[in-house]
Amino acid sequence: MTLWLYLHFKHLQLDSLTLSHKGEPVVIVNGSSNRVVQVCTLAKQSGITVGMGLASAACLSEHLQVVAYDAQAEQTRLQEIAQWLYLATADISLFPPDGILLKVSNMLSLYQDLATYWQHIQAHLSHLELNYHYATGYSALAARLLARGRVDIITDDAALLQSSINGFDLLQTDLSEQICEQLKRVRISKLSQLLCIPVSELAKRFDIELVHYVGRLQGQLKYPLIFYVPEEQFSRHLTLLFELENLQWLTKPMAKLLKQLELFLQQRNKLAQQVLLTLQLRDAEPVSIQVAISSGESRAHAWQSLIELKLSNISLNAPIQAITISADYLLDNQYANNELFQSQQGQSEIPALIAKLQAKLGGRCVQGVAVDSDHRPERAFHFVDPSHAYIKQKRITGLQRPSMLLPEVIPLQEKVTIYFGPERICTGWWDNQAVARDYYIARNEQGKWLWVYKEPSQQWFVQGIFC
Amino acid sequence: MSKIIDLLQHRQWVWQGSSQVLKSSERISTGIPLLDTKLQGGLPKQGMIEIQADSGIGELQIWLSYLQQHPHLIVFINPPGSVNAHHFYHLGFDHKQLLIIKTDSAIDALWAAEQCLKSSGCGNVLLWHNSLSISQAKRLQLASEQGTSTLFLYRPVCEQQFSLPVSLCLQLTGHPQGIAIQVKKQKGGWPQKSFILSLADYWPQLVVKQGEANNVAVFPMPIRYAK
């Protein structure tokens, strides 16, 4: 029989509110029923319990912090826990909103016995600082039942597990109220009583739902499970406990998410090319900030400094409520062999430099060049993003070309002396941008070298300067 | 008299500027022999080179053979026109070597120059900037020393400007035979009188005055026939 381990996170959302809430009691309240669903230790000390109405809870503690229950947030958090656990154990199944099931049997060949396995899982989970209940069981439902009943038992002793299950009341199980009511009428209120009855007998008198449940609880029927598959892309969301108006205060929460990104990338041996930071604002459209390093980067501080540069340029008109960091374009980590003594790191620093410049000045201000094979000077090259891939062109020697071109050709309006020329460029008849020009190098009276051309219409223009 | 100086020198009580002369190994040849002799062997390996020149007299052209020597990144910050990459490529520069930055504000240009100079991937930065304060120049000088890179600072000629703390300051002016160069300031050396660098060896076509070549055909004028 397969052994399962179920983890029940009793106040997941509360544990995820990580920004400093020291010294103040916090409760999570379900918005629709207006009842307290999760209580922190401090709030518990002042007498607040789960299921209490919001009004009574507020009466008990004057500094009470109330946070609305968010099912979506818990779900995402559960995904994150699964992702973290995936490093220690293979088969993980999620039981939203607050449970995770681990398949133990397969992992025992890696970790010698159950005790060692549990030690590893516990140590691994301790990084997340969560409160949880746990139990093993020979069926997924049995483990879930024990964990939710806060039994906290780790054993592979079938008899002991069975006896712990027997004590449960039917109302604590996943059975619907209607079935519990039906069973109550025939004086079955404990699980032990229900399990005494043969399944065939149950099938005759009760719903197929009950038969399935009993079969699955005892491991005779298979419980359908969907196992967790780790995601390929990184995306993390963090709700801030306080609204932030100063962008500099964003550094700490951002660093936390970037650390997670670093870990995510390291575990997969990947590099991120692009990081997207989304700021959720109060009563305003979210703001997205994108930074990129073309060669890829995994270290948190490199991304942090880039994002800070980018943030220094923007101003917000509403306070920030939550932030999301995501990275979609991942690269495999390439290891370059560098010389030990010769500092060859120069070349590898260029992408980081370009990323930094682009983050501060904006992408259009920082440009590389690409050369095209065309004789028309204004079409012989164009500006591109510096990370653009280049096509090698044949180099022509002996050209007399200026080092600077004027952004726009201007008519020649001064007296010049021609020193060299003409060089005729007569091309482009195929794309309706035909040019027929005689180029000369000329010098004006101030000693400035100009690149001028004459058109068939005998008009003269200046196109470049020999700087 | 000289005895006293010898004594002072022996006890290291007197400091002489000439002892600070950079060794020739710390100089990089400009590729132009006349310029090399005037500059004690070439341009300094790192630091700031101020070039006071009017635009268009070949003030960038004379450094091309120097820039061609190493494959490092060359950054143009706020150039006076659109950098003709076609020209640079066919001279032997690589595509990836050229980076052009155009900023909206002067402060951003200085920031970009500092970042580029500090980075070890970047060899030469060419900055066109009109007004630079002494503290800003010092900061750029330190950045260039940190990244062992060179900054070429292009400024227009103006006599009233403050002298900046630079490694080398040259004033270039156009001359019928080429470029007149005056070394206004150099680290570990005396200012030099103006001399003329002939462009004949580098741009042979540009020196002898030529008329229009006689093998040019005149463009046929379009002829219209009346219908």
ipTM (interface predicted TM): 0.81
Are the beta carbons of A420 and B56 separated by less than 8 Å? no
Q: Which residues of B touch A426 (CB under 8 A)?
A: none
Return the DSSP state at A190. Answer: B
Rounded Cα distance, A302 and A356, in Å: 9
Which residue of chain B is at minimal alpha-carbon distance from A343? B120
HEC per residue, chain B: CHHHHHHHHHCCCCCCHHHHCCCHHHEECCCCHHHHHHCCCCEECCEEEEEEECCCCCCCHHHHHHHCCCCCEEEEECCCCEECHHHHHHHCCCHHHEEEECCCCHHHHHHHHHHHHHCCCEEEEEEECCCCCHHHHHHHHHHHHHCCCEEEEEECCCCCCCCCCCCEEEEEEEECCEEEEEEEEECCECCCCCEEEECCCCCHHHCCCCCCCCCCCCCCCCCCCCC
Q: Which residues of B touch A365 (CB under 8 A)?
A: 101-104, 108
Q: Which residues of B touch A352 (CB under 8 A)?
A: 119
B199 is in which domain, residue-wise? Answer: 45-218
Task: Name the 3-class secondary structure at A46.
Answer: coil
Burial class, A305, CB count within 10 angstroms (exposed 0-12 / middle 13-18 / buried 19+):
middle
Q: Token digits for B209?
A: 């005055």
Rounded Cα distance, A90 and B8, in Å: 80
Q: Does A399 touch chain B if contact means CB atoms closer than 8 Å? A: yes
Q: Which residues of B touch A459 (CB under 8 A)?
A: none
Are the beta carbons of A405 and B84 separated by less than 8 Å? yes
For residues B112 and B151, the answer to whether their CB atoms sit within 8 Å is: no
Q: How far is CA A285 from CA A106, A243, A278, A281, B90, in A?
A: 48, 15, 10, 7, 49
Rounded Cα distance, A309 and A461, in Å: 43
Rounded Cα distance, A322 and A279, in Å: 6
Rounded Cα distance, A37 and A14, in Å: 10
Q: Token digits for A140?
A: 């997924």
Which residue of chain A is at minimal alpha-carbon distance from B90? A395
For residues A266 and A258, the answer to whether their CB atoms sit within 8 Å is: no
Burial class, A142, CB count within 10 angstroms (exposed 0-12 / middle 13-18 / buried 19+):
buried
CATH of the domain at B144: 3.40.50.300
Q: CA B147: distance to chain centroid?
A: 18
Half-sphere exposure of B129 (CA within 13 A, CB side): 29
Task: Give the count of beta carbons closer than 10 Å to the beta carbon of residue A33.
Answer: 12
pLDDT tens for each residue of chain A, 467 residues long:
889 999 999 888 888 776 555 677 888 888 888 888 888 888 888 888 888 888 888 888 888 888 888 888 888 889 888 988 988 898 999 988 889 999 998 888 898 889 999 999 999 999 888 889 999 999 999 999 999 888 888 988 888 888 888 888 888 888 888 888 888 898 888 888 888 888 888 888 888 888 888 888 888 888 888 999 887 888 888 888 788 888 888 888 899 899 989 988 988 888 998 899 999 999 989 999 888 888 888 899 999 999 998 888 888 888 999 999 999 888 888 776 666 666 555 667 888 889 889 888 888 899 999 988 888 998 999 999 888 877 788 888 878 889 999 999 999 999 998 888 789 999 988 888 889 999 999 988 888 999 999 999 999 999 999 88
| Within a domain: B67 | yes
Selected residues 414-433 of chain A with any CB under 8 Å from a CB in chain B: 417-422, 424
DSSP for A140-165 reads: HHHHHHHHHTT--B----HHHHHHHH
For residues B72 and A344, the answer to whether their CB atoms sit within 8 Å is: no
| Within a domain: B112 | yes
Neighbouring-strand partners of residue A437:
A425
Rounded Cα distance, B201 and B198, in Å: 7
Q: Which residues are CB-neighbours of A285 under 8 A, at least 6 positions away?
A: none
Confidence (pLDDT) at B99: 93
| Within a domain: B30 | no
Lowest mean pLDDT among A310-314, A342-346, B139-143, B159-163: A342-346
What sign results for the dihedral spanned by CA atoms A76, A81, A87, A89? negative
Which residue of chain B is at minimal alpha-carbon distance from A373? B86
- Across residues B53-75, what is the average pLDDT? 89
Are the beta carbons of A350 and B119 separated by less than 8 Å? yes
Q: Does A449 touch chain B if contact means CB atoms closer than 8 Å? A: yes
Q: Say which of B60, B108, B219 has its CB closest to residue A456.
A: B219
Neighbouring-strand partners of residue B44:
B27
Q: Nearest C-alpha of chain A: how many angstroms from B101?
A: 5
Q: Nearest C-alpha of chain A: how many angstroms from B177?
A: 10
Phi first, then psi: give them for residue A70, nearest 5 degrees: -130, 105
pLDDT in tens, B191-203: 888 988 887 777 7
Confidence (pLDDT) at B210: 43
Q: Which residues of B touch A417 (CB under 8 A)?
A: 209
Q: Nearest C-alpha of chain B: how many angstroms from A231?
A: 36
Q: Token digits for B48?
A: 């700031």
pLDDT surpasses 90 at B112: yes
| Within a domain: B177 | yes
Count of domains in chain B?
1
Confidence (pLDDT) at B227: 46
Return the DSSP state at A86. Answer: T
Residue whose pair of structure tokens reads 């199980």 in the numeric block? A173
Short-list A397, A210, A234, A390, CA closest to A327: A234
| Within a domain: B125 | yes
Are the beta carbons of A467 and B60 separated by less than 8 Å? yes
| Within a domain: B78 | yes
| Within a domain: B33 | no
| Within a domain: B185 | yes
Q: Which residues of A touch B72 (CB under 8 A)?
A: 346
For residues A121, A122, A124, A126, the Cα torsion angle rounded to the nearest 10 degrees is: 160
Rounded Cα distance, A55 and A362, in Å: 52
Q: Nearest C-alpha of chain B: how many angstroms from A33?
A: 55
Q: Which residues are CB-neighbours of A312 under 8 A, at least 6 positions away?
A: A247, A360
Q: Say which of A345, A404, A417 has its CB closest to residue B83.
A: A404
Share of residues in chain B with pLDDT > 70 (%) = 84
